[in-house]
Structure 1
Amino acid sequence: MSSSEESSEPTSSPPASPEASDQVEPPSLERLVTHFVQSKRALNANAALFRAGELVTASRGLLEDIAILNARNGFAKRSAAEQVETLHAIRDEITEAGDEAVLEFKMTVAAIDEAHGRLERTLETLRHTMVDASLQRTEDSAEKDEADERGQGESESNAREEDSSAQKTLYDFIQESTHTELEASLRGLVDEFAVVKDLFDHDTRQYDDRLQSITDKLHHNDITSSSGPQDKPTLYDEPPPTVPQLFRSLESHAAEMATLFSSLIKHYDLCVTALKHTEGGGEAARLAIQAEHLATTTTTTTTTTTTPQPDAEESLYRKTHPEPISASDRTQMLQILESDAAEVPDVLTDIHAHAAELYEQHDQLLQHTTAARTLHHRQQKILDSLHAMHAALLPQHLEASATFREASQTIHQTIKAKTQALIELRIFYDDFAASYAKVLREVERRQAARKQMRRVAQKAQRELDRLFEADGVAREEFLRVVGGCLPRDLWPGVGEVGGRWVVEMEEGGGGVAL
């Protein structure tokens, strides 16, 4: 609104146009009363000003609450982040140790598979190595078989068929339970490790799930706190104002409202002054106020504006005499009043617009406060979860990790020992298979020796038989020559038959006795 300005006395020259004549023509009493009633009604905007003052005071308290909550939330966030980082580091160390144990176990299983594969190949060799039937017979039975071979034809083939049907393999001469029990024991150890690993994995999943839940909550809090009270900001949205910016803007709107209301008070005072200097103005104003059901007094209190004097309106209704003013001053006052009266609706609109902005910004501060309190509540729940995790889940996880390491080491050492036993058993079976070749060579050697001894024995037997026959012929010739004249009692054994020598195999040791 414009302020009062000094003006010179109006000249006596006639108006140049109807518009100019309207400008200099003073307003009527009815128009002045209308301006007065509108100005008095406009002073009802003091309620918005009171509310603005309350909101500024409340917002200052909200600003302090937000600062305290943000400080607490920042500390809680840093503390939670450090604890989560520590828990992640512990998890990584335990997981790495578990992975090393699993890798070591896989290498051990690979060694088991290799040892088992070699053993199976050795056992397959034993299964397919037929034992020579001659190994199941003694040398005496071998001699008889050789005699049978020389004297029998069809019976020979029948005997061989019976021998081949009863023929065994090298596998029949090992104790099968030795390696089967060892393999079953190894499979049991592998299954035992799988059970221990499942228990450790179950505990690790529980630990990871709880830790991931806390990490997700921290991440959600970061997103929520960074986005502010806006729900879904887009790429094209301007960055939301900060809390200090909101409070400064709120104070600015309140100050602007006070300034605008001050101009309304000045306009009201000007209306009262104009009515005082108009004949019948007080009575007309009183009747208009009664018709409008307005209060008879108006009290306005602000920290930045002046208040109209209560006596000003009361003096308007009474028979009081205002201070005299010149005609030019009255004309200028009325012109200013007319100009200000036209601006009253705009001023009221501006006051309500500033009030609406102020309310909106106060609501945003409330949203910030609510968000900070909600964030603080969530941060406290996260800290409580971390405390519970430190108190229960972390010791349980550490104990499960220690149990897994001890069990895996014990199982690993036992498997190594049994795998070594499997390797030694395979070596023993390999030596057994290799010895069988030596046995066959020994059999061939013994058969050759027996045949050689048989030939020598047969040759000796033939020579002994020849000597025996020659001895008999000589004995008969001797008796023929001297037998008639030789007394019997001179040599009682003269007529005896000579002793017959026989070469035969010695019983038991397999040697040859004469």
Structure 2
Amino acid sequence: MSSASSASSSSSVRPSTPGPNSPNALETLLPFLLASKRSLSTVEHVYRANDICASTRTALEKSAIVTARTSFLRSGVASQLNVLQKVWQQTESTAAHVTAEYQDVLASLDEAETRLRNTLSSLQETVVEAKLRPVDEAPRSLLDFVDESGVEGLVTSIRADLKESGKGFEEFQKDNKGFENEVQKVKGILDKQQRSGDSQSADDLNTGVDHLPEVLADMEELAREMAVNLESLVSHFDLCVTAIKHTEGGGDAAVKIAGDLPHGVEVGQHPQEAPSELISDEQRGEMMRVLREDADQVSEVVLEIESHSTQIVILSQGVEALTASLFQRSREINDAFKLLENLGHRLPNHITRSQAYQIRWDGEQTRIVARMEELENAKSFYDDFFRAYHNLIIEIGRRKTLESKRNQIIEEARSKLEQLYEEDVADREEFKNEHGQFIPVDIWPGLLDLPGRFLIEPEDAVVETVPDISKSVIHKAIRRVHG
């Protein structure tokens, strides 16, 4: 737009320009003045632009501080998180190791108890041969000859110890799980800030922060252009007021129309003030020419100011979104840092509890394994008892066989001795009949004696009696012992 000074420097006058006393002059100037006054309301856009630029500059300063602080905290949090993850992995490894050992011990106990139950069942199913027991005694199994209450109590005691160890392990796992959840919360915050999606990624934010000075410079340039355009509108308004004041009857109109200007607008001439000096018709004609040219540009300048204002608002919204994201990330990192502080306070106790539980479990495992060895020894004793009983049956069979052989030999010996006796008696009688009458008796007094008779008797006063066990029972015993 042209300035007011250009009106005073030109001396040319357009023939169609109304004179100062022309009835059309005021009618021509009043629309110019009204339009010029309306255009001055764009001062609000200029002030708003200045406020936005100032707030953006402040946001830029805060963003730089927040970005540096967030970056520092994020680096520290990530470093400490690695340490905490290693601690958790170590305690989780301890938990996994203890779990495996606990399950192994439990499985071993189940297997040992199953084997013991099978052995006791075999003892219960094996009825002692009646020939081995008193005649009036009721049938008894091998289980009746052992005290199973001891092993039952041992199994119950071991399971109670394992149950108690399981409770301690559950408490340990609960503590470890709580620690893991806190670590995962911190990790989740860092992972969230690394993921791209609805929110900007870390690289996008850093890039946006780096571009903030350029955005601010663009906003300030737009604001400066708005201010320049506002100055041109004010100059146009001043020129309109001046022209009306130098027009007959225009003073009252200038006061009525331009008396209440928008707040913050400073004009060169107040409508109520009288003209400082008179101007010539040529000067007034030039002034009217400039006003007509400028009036055609007023709406364009207003639109340009409004467009710049819209651009500044859009840029500021982007800055606000970016700074809001930065501050949100800062709050998240601060939350993560607070979680780390809490974990840091808990870390020594957590490590101590992990070590204490490992030591406690090692001791409990040693005691439980030792008692399980007692259980295995009891089972082995019952197995030996079971085998010994069947070996007893085999031994009875062996003795019975030997007894039969011995009795056979004795009978054979008795028969041969009796045969020898009878032969001896016959031979002596024959000798006596043939030669006895010729031999004096006093030559050998024993000549007429009968031969001696011999008995086969046991040396001990008590003779062993071997129970009469059937061969089928003995064969079953042999199959059980030797497979």
TM-score by length of 1: 0.67
* Separation of aligned partners in 2, 1:41 and 1:456: 152
Deviation at 1:456, TM superposition (A): 6.7
* Separation of aligned partners in 2, 1:293 and 1:263: 17
| 8 Å Cα contact 1:37-1:289 kept in structure 2 | no
| 8 Å Cα contact 2:258-2:271 kept in structure 1 | no
What SS does the corresponding residue of 1:32 show, helix, strand or coil? helix
What SS does the corresponding residue of 1:28 show, helix, strand or coil? helix
Deviation at 1:383, TM superposition (A): 1.6
Deviation at 1:110, TM superposition (A): 2.9
* Separation of aligned partners in 2, 1:299 and 1:98: 74
* Separation of aligned partners in 1, 2:261 and 2:65: 47
Partner AA of 2:251 in structure 1: R
* Separation of aligned partners in 1, 2:235 and 2:357: 87
Q: What residue number does 1:304 align with? A: none
* Separation of aligned partners in 2, 1:225 and 1:57: 31
* Separation of aligned partners in 2, 1:295 and 1:167: 128
Describe the shift of the 1:387–1:332 C-alpha distance in structure 2 as closer, same or farther (beyond 3 A).
same
Deviation at 1:406, TM superposition (A): 1.7
Identity in percent:
24
Q: What residue number does 1:71 align with? A: 68
| 8 Å Cα contact 1:53-1:254 kept in structure 2 | yes
| 8 Å Cα contact 2:64-2:209 kept in structure 1 | no
Describe the shift of the 1:61–1:461 C-alpha distance in structure 2 as closer, same or farther (beyond 3 A).
same
Name which of 390, 395, 398 aligns with 1:437: 390
Q: What residue number does 2:358 align with? A: 405
Partner AA of 1:253 in structure 2: L
Deviation at 1:273, TM superposition (A): 6.0
Unaligned 5+ runs, structure 2:
201-207, 426-451, 466-483
- For 1:12-65, what per-residue CA distance to the aligned partner results, in whole angstroms no more than 9, with x for missing partners? 9xxxxxxxx899xx9724312442454355345445434433432332122101
Q: What residue number does 2:82 align with? A: 85
Deviation at 1:459, TM superposition (A): 8.0
Partner AA of 2:400 in structure 1: Q
Partner AA of 1:430 in structure 2: D
* Separation of aligned partners in 1, 2:305 and 2:33: 19
| 8 Å Cα contact 1:33-1:284 kept in structure 2 | no
Q: What residue number does 2:102 align with? A: 105
- For 1:103-158, what per-residue CA distance to the aligned partner results, in whole angstroms no more than 9, with x for missing partners? 12322333333333333333333223232233336xxxxxxxxxxxxxxxxxxxxx
Name which of 84, 91, 96 aligns with 1:94: 91
TM-score by length of 2: 0.71
Within 5 Å, give how 1:123-272 maps onto structure 2.
123-136=120-133, 166-220=138-192, 227=199, 243-244=212-213, 246-271=215-240
Partner AA of 1:70 in structure 2: T
Describe the shift of the 1:360–1:173 C-alpha distance in structure 2 as closer, same or farther (beyond 3 A).
same
Describe the shift of the 1:362–1:375 C-alpha distance in structure 2 as closer, same or farther (beyond 3 A).
same
* Separation of aligned partners in 2, 1:319 and 1:502: 176
* Separation of aligned partners in 2, 1:33 and 1:332: 17
Describe the shift of the 1:319–1:461 C-alpha distance in structure 2 as closer, same or farther (beyond 3 A).
closer
Partner AA of 2:151 in structure 1: H
| 8 Å Cα contact 1:297-1:313 kept in structure 2 | no
What SS does the corresponding residue of 1:118 show, helix, strand or coil? helix
Q: What residue number does 1:287 align with? A: 252
Deviation at 1:178, TM superposition (A): 3.5
Deviation at 1:226, TM superposition (A): 7.7
Partner AA of 1:399 in structure 2: T
- For 1:39-92, what per-residue CA distance to the aligned partner results, in whole angstroms no more than 9, with x for missing partners? 355345445434433432332122101211121122222222332332222111
Q: What residue number does 1:16 align with? A: none
| 8 Å Cα contact 1:253-1:354 kept in structure 2 | yes
What SS does the corresponding residue of 1:227 show, helix, strand or coil? coil
- For 1:307-330, what per-residue CA distance to the aligned partner results, in whole angstroms no more than 9, with x for missing partners? x645x9788x247233x68x5x86
Q: What residue number does 2:39 align with? A: 42
| 8 Å Cα contact 2:251-2:272 kept in structure 1 | no
RMSD: 4.5
Name which of 379, 384, 393 aligns with 1:426: 379
Deviation at 1:386, TM superposition (A): 1.6
Deviation at 1:98, TM superposition (A): 1.2
| 8 Å Cα contact 1:457-1:503 kept in structure 2 | no
- For 1:214-268, what per-residue CA distance to the aligned partner results, in whole angstroms no more than 9, with x for missing partners? 334445566799826xxxxxxxxxx999644542342133122112113213423
* Separation of aligned partners in 2, 1:71 and 1:443: 97
| 8 Å Cα contact 2:241-2:254 kept in structure 1 | no
| 8 Å Cα contact 2:251-2:271 kept in structure 1 | no
Q: What residue number does 1:347 align with? A: 301
* Separation of aligned partners in 2, 1:501 and 1:373: 123
- For 1:463-494, what per-residue CA distance to the aligned partner results, in whole angstroms no more than 9, with x for missing partners? 79x99xx99xxxxxxxxxxxxxxxxxxxxxxx
| Number of residue pairs matched by the alignment | 426
